[in-house]
């Protein structure tokens, strides 16, 4: 069998391990760890004091020092544990066997060190090293996120394989376990597996990417993160939607930033019957020109256009078509244009009608009242 574990055997080995532990050494080890943590807290206190001086150098130093201290504390304690108990029998006592491999506490700590070190190294590289490369080649935010995810997953897979090899586990011995996992995926983990694979497809095919403005179920938001199982979208109301990755491959999603960031705004306006329609057209084009002069969002290529929609029940209906450079500024730009339209029509005494209903009261015959 792959895992040679029974309850009685595990209990017996646990009791034997407990008996081998020298509790005085454990207490001294805890004391040393406590001293390390106190020193860490003191250094963080000093850096916080320097940060409060509001100097940029100290603000950046605080973040750097925190990261370094976390590294030194975590790995220092683990390494200190290995050296301090290097001659203890319980460190090398088997507590579980996988195939022919005897797993000990020592090998387990080594595996944890490898995986955690790879994880932290990946985060440091993606946070401090790769951004300078992205900036040099002018890569957009979506491509940056894709590279970060691929790099992180690659590092973690390599670290996992190396940790198993270090412990002494033959990867071919895991074929049975992989078969069991495959059956589990086939029966109970289909949804998770589907979302995971969909996430990989999203990173490579990129129908959506980080930073895109999308519309999901009539809700507008920006893609913040594409995780292994789900995508996080931040709405305009600062709410976060967690959408399964498979949704973006199976359902219809509007991506306003997919290939061309330009977006056309359609602003409807109605004026009273009898108004000079040529004058209305000129005034609406003037509004678009004024907004373009005060904001770089409004584009003159394609040119703004006024569409005479038709004759409504109580108004002459027009639409002002305006192109903007960034879909993230739809609400702000549309509001500014509406303010300008309202003002310019009022200045030129052009009425904006509203729906009205006429109520006709019919006189009632006096004979009917008498009855």
What mean pLDDT comes out for the span 343-361? 82
Task: Provide the greatest CA pair distance for the chain.
Answer: 118
**Distance between CA atoms of residues 212 and 282, nearest Å:** 35
How many helices, marked H, and strands, marked E, lie in the chain? 12, 11
| Distant-in-sequence, close-in-space partners of 157: CB < 8 Å, separation ≥ 6 | none
Decide if 142 contacts 211 (C-beta within 8 A). yes
Decide if 130 contacts 101 (C-beta within 8 A). no
What mean pLDDT comes out for the span 312-324? 93
Confidence check: pLDDT of 3 > 50: no
Decide if 143 contacts 204 (C-beta within 8 A). no
**Distance between CA atoms of residues 263 and 334, nearest Å:** 12
E-strand stretches of the chain: 94-98, 101-104, 213-216, 219-226, 230-235, 240-244, 254-255, 263-271, 298-299, 305-311, 316-324
- The 8-class DSSP code of residue 3 comes to B
Two structure tokens written together for 146: 């894709």
Place of tokens 């310019």: 344
**Distance between CA atoms of residues 327 and 215, nearest Å:** 11
pLDDT at 1: 45
Q: Which of 90, 83, 86 is nearest to 105 (CA)?
A: 90
**Distance between CA atoms of residues 282 and 290, nearest Å:** 12
Long-range CB contacts for residues 301-304, cutoff 8 Å, separation at least 24:
302/264
Q: Read out DSSP for 305-326?
A: EEEEEEE-SSSEEEEEEEEES-
List phi, psi (to 5°) of 30. Answer: -65, -35
Q: Which of 108, 102, 101 is nearest to 78 (CA)?
A: 108
pLDDT at 166: 76
pLDDT at 318: 96
List phi, psi (to 5°) of 76. Answer: -65, -45
What mean pLDDT comes out for the span 321-332? 90
* CA-based torsion, 18, 19, 20, 26: positive or negative: positive
Q: Which of 291, 348, 277 is nearest to 319 (CA)?
A: 277
List phi, psi (to 5°) of 269. Answer: -150, 140
Two structure tokens written together for 330: 């739809």
Two structure tokens written together for 213: 């403005």
End-to-end alpha carbon distance in the chain? 101
**Distance between CA atoms of residues 304 and 340, nearest Å:** 15
* Candidate from 86-100, 157-171, 194-208, 287-301 with smallest mean pLDDT: 86-100
190-205 vs 141-167: helix axis angle to the nearest 10?
130
pLDDT at 268: 94
Question: Regarding predicted confidence, which is higher, 369 or 246?
Answer: 246
* Candidate from 7-21, 224-238, 288-302 with smallest mean pLDDT: 7-21
pLDDT at 309: 94
* 3-class secondary-structure state, position 54: coil
Decide if 247 contacts 313 (C-beta within 8 A). no
pLDDT at 164: 80
Identify the structural domains of the chain with CATH numbers, from first to last: 7-165 (no CATH), 190-255 (2.30.30.60), 263-347 (3.30.70.100)
* Candidate from 177-186, 232-241, 270-279 with smallest mean pLDDT: 177-186
**Distance between CA atoms of residues 14 and 222, nearest Å:** 52
**Distance between CA atoms of residues 86 and 82, nearest Å:** 6
Two structure tokens written together for 67: 């990261």
pLDDT at 335: 94
């Amino acid at each position: 069998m792959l895992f040679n574990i029974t309850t009685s055997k595990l209990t017996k080995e646990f009791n034997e391990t407990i008996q081998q532990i020298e509790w005085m050494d454990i207490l001294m080890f805890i004391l040393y760890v406590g001293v390390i943590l106190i020193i860490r807290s003191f250094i963080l206190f000093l850096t916080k004091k320097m940060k409060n001086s509001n100097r940029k150098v100290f603000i950046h130093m605080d973040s750097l020092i925190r990261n370094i201290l976390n590294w030194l504390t975590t790995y220092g304690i683990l390494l200190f544990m290995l050296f301090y108990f290097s001659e203890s029998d319980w460190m090398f006592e088997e507590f579980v066997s996988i195939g022919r491999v005897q797993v000990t506490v020592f090998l387990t700590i080594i595996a944890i060190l490898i995986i955690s070190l790879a994880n932290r190294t990946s985060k440091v590289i993606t946070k401090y090293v790769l951004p300078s490369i992205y900036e040099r080649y002018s890569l957009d935010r979506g491509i940056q996120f894709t590279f970060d995810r691929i790099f992180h997953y690659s590092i973690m897979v390599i670290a996992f394989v190396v940790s198993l090899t270090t412990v002494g586990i033959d990867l071919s011995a895991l074929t049975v376990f992989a078969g069991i996992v495959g059956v589990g995926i086939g029966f109970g983990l289909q949804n998770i597996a589907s979302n995971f694979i969909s996430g990989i497809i999203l990173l490579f095919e990129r129908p959506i990417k980080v930073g895109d403005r999308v519309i999901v179920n009539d809700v507008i938001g920006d893609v913040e993160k594409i995780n292994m199982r789900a995508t996080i979208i931040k709405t305009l109301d600062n709410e976060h939607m967690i959408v399964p990755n498979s949704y973006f491959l199976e359902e219809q999603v509007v991506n306003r930033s997919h290939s061309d960031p330009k977006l056309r705004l359609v602003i409807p306006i109605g004026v009273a019957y009898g108004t000079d329609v040529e004058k209305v057209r000129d005034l609406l084009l003037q509004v678009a020109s004024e907004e373009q002069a005060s904001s770089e969002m409004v584009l003159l290529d394609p040119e703004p256009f006024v569409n005479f929609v038709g004759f409504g029940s109580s108004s002459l209906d027009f639409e002002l078509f305006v192109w903007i450079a960034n879909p993230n500024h739809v609400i702000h730009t549309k509001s500014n244009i509406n303010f300008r339209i309202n003002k310019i029509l009022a200045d030129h005494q052009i009425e904006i009608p509203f729906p009205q209903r006429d109520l006709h009261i019919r006189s009632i015959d006096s004979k009917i009242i008498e009855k």
